[in-house]
Amino acid sequence: MTRLLVVGWDGATWSVADPLARAGRLPMLASLREEDAAEGVLETVPNMNSAPAWSTVATGLNPGRHGIFYFDEPVPGTYRRRVINATRRSGASLWRMASDAGKRTVVVNVPISFPAEPVNGYLIAGLDSPSKTISGFTYPQGLTARHPGLFDRYTVDPGAPSLIKAGKVQEAKDELLQITDGWTSVTERLMEEEWDLVFVVFTATDTAQHFFWTGEGRQVVEQVYQSQDEGTARLVEKARTQDPDVNVIVLADHGGAVNTRGPELMPVWLEDQGLQAFTAPSVPSRALSTGFRVVDRTLTREQKLALARRFPRLRERAESEVRLAGLHWKRTRAYSDGLRDEVFVNLAGREPEGSVPNGEYQGLVEELKEGIEGIREMDTGEPVVESVRHRDELYHGPHVDLAPDLTLRWLLEGREAPFRGFECETRRGREKMRALVAQPPFTDGGHHGDGMFLAAGPNIRPGYVRGRLEDVTPTVLALLGIPAPAGLDGRPLDLLKDVEAKEAKEAKAAQAAERTPAGLRESPAEVPAARADRDPATGYTAEEEEEVRRRLEELGYL
Ligand SMILES: [Zn+2]
């Protein structure tokens, strides 16, 4: 059985890659395409977010079953959210399944893979790892004893967003262009030993697209694609030297598009409709928010970490107070946080200050769907919403309750500029919309539902492929000659040649595991020691959570 190299390009999209490849600027992608590749798109998860998307790639399960919907999750019975990691994922990963089948694996930088789970080979955790020195960053631990200097030029914390925030745009560009080299070099070194499956994710594409999608910035995006093409070429060449028959997959977890600013506009629209009500912030809440903003501006990172250590929940509380600041809960029936493509119902009995009785839930959901579908852009009168779906329509499994009530998709076809605002019924609403769109957006790129997919090798049949992220796990298992566990949500992509996809009779590995920190339980020796100051749900200390939260916020993920 031949080997398999999988290179993830986070957020990569054919609308960028195709013209570049044709112009000779992505020679590796172009040469894979010329080798009779299977080429097309993989449809991402409903909310197009990288955390559930890569978790679906890794498990072959929909988010309702693996339980990851974002880089954070709601804390039950509160309006707060906590940062999460792989301890919250249910279901076996494909590198776990490959390891169980005796295959040697090298896994590098997959989002939501901390703490590093035991594999038959190596696993280097992704950006949910608080640092590259913490235990749990790698499996096995102590890799640098065996490979001195392995992580010297390796970054878990992309510096580009904070550099951009500080106005150092050139430095941010430089950082984005060299970061892929670190991931590539580590992967190359770990490939020196025997391996059957290499799975590495490059995330610079997504970061670059968020900050440089429009205008002159687009050059940065293109250069980042080129740098990832070079990284991919190094790995493909190394793999082919070791095994000329290696199969290669290049895939994205979602695509890229302009940032429509739709989520930012939703709270104003909901207020205009009388669904989300604001009030003058209460004094304690105002004090907390102001205090938090001052703290955020004036303290160094070290001071903030020290503060997080002393007041573990202060930051979390202040954060949600800022985001949902001044909401009049008793008069709020549905709300949006201004950041995500979603709407929550303020349900009595579930939300701490819920205002919607259970009996009215279904009616309100229908009313919201109809209203949101009918939203039109200010000035143009064009529709803006592609779809709005209830979580029961999008997901299935034991963790559906972690999803927002409604998930929105914006109409992206042909759109290269943000929305000019949403039509409102009240003068106040119109004024707020105008004021909001007059402000510059936080990022100028967003996500698209179709991610780039390309595969080539002796076991790949050329042709056009359209699949879903759920299909990656069974496809990878088939290419490695491992029977897929029964009951996965995906099926092998229609591209297999001279290999047969087999399905095991038992659903054992695919069954949702218990929710308590599976990674922590499986390998007590290899992960951060259980300490009283760790959150039992996530395994993070307050400081570690603060570190990961800061990183995710700067990337625009929280
Ligand atoms: Zn992504």
pLDDT digits (tens, 9 = 90+) for 180-194: 999 999 999 999 999
CA of 49 to the centre of ligand 1 (A): 6
CA of 109 to the centre of ligand 1 (A): 12
CA of 242 to the centre of ligand 1 (A): 30
CA of 75 to the centre of ligand 1 (A): 24
Domains, in order of start, for the chain: 4-258+447-554 (3.40.720.10), 262-279+327-440 (no CATH), 283-317 (no CATH)
Tokens of 74: 């709601």
The answer to whether residue 45 scores a pLDDT higher than 80 is yes
Are the CB atoms for 195 and 243 separated by under 8 Å?
no
SS3 content of the chain, % helix, strand, coil (to 5): 40, 15, 40
Average pLDDT value over all residues in the chain:
88
Per-residue model confidence as pLDDT tens digits over 338-390:
889 999 999 999 999 999 999 999 999 999 999 999 999 999 999 999 999 99
Residue 76, φ and ψ in degrees, nearest 5: -55, 140
The answer to whether residue 533 scores a pLDDT higher than 80 is no
CA of 79 to the centre of ligand 1 (A): 26
CA of 10 to the centre of ligand 1 (A): 5
CA of 206 to the centre of ligand 1 (A): 6
- Between the alpha carbon of residue 291 and those of residues 159, 552, 556, the distances in Å are 26, 21, 22
CA of 517 to the centre of ligand 1 (A): 24
CA of 112 to the centre of ligand 1 (A): 11
CA of 451 to the centre of ligand 1 (A): 9
Q: In the predicted model, what is the mean pLDDT of residues 248-264?
A: 97
CA of 252 to the centre of ligand 1 (A): 7
Q: In the predicted model, what is the mean pLDDT of residues 8-18?
A: 98
Are the CB atoms for 453 and 252 separated by under 8 Å?
yes
- Between the alpha carbon of residue 81 and those of residues 74, 96, 211, 329, 443, the distances in Å are 4, 29, 25, 17, 22
CA of 357 to the centre of ligand 1 (A): 36
Query: Residues with Cβ within 5 Å of ion ligand 1?
Result: 10-11, 50, 206, 253
Neighbours of 525 (CB within 10 A): 9
CA of 504 to the centre of ligand 1 (A): 31
Question: Left, alpha or beta for 366 (phi > 0: left; psi -120 to 50: alpha)?
Answer: alpha
For residue 117, the Cα-to-chain-centroid distance in whole angstroms is 19
Q: Cα–Cα distance between 556 and 442 in angstroms, integer?
A: 8
Are the CB atoms for 69 and 56 separated by under 8 Å?
no
**Pairing label, strands 38-43, 197-202:** unpaired
Q: Cα–Cα distance between 14 and 502 in angstroms, integer?
A: 31
CA of 209 to the centre of ligand 1 (A): 10
CA of 253 to the centre of ligand 1 (A): 5
Q: What is the pLDDT of residue 319?
A: 52
Per-residue model confidence as pLDDT tens digits over 275-332:
999 886 544 444 444 454 555 555 566 666 665 655 555 555 455 545 676 789 999 9
Are the CB atoms for 449 and 256 separated by under 8 Å?
no
CA of 434 to the centre of ligand 1 (A): 30
Per-residue model confidence as pLDDT tens digits over 481-532:
999 999 999 999 999 999 988 988 765 544 444 333 333 333 333 445 455 6
The sign of the dihedral angle between the CA atoms of 282, 435, 169, 177 is: positive
The sign of the dihedral angle between the CA atoms of 345, 367, 362, 401 is: negative
Q: Cα–Cα distance between 126 and 50 in angstroms, integer?
A: 12
Q: Hey, which residues does 9 pair with through a beta bridge?
A: 202
Tell me how many degrees the CA angle 547-553-558 measures, rounded to the nearest 5: 115
Q: Cα–Cα distance between 137 and 85 in angstroms, integer?
A: 12
Q: What is the pLDDT of residue 443?
A: 87
- Between the alpha carbon of residue 482 and those of residues 479, 499, 503, the distances in Å are 8, 10, 8
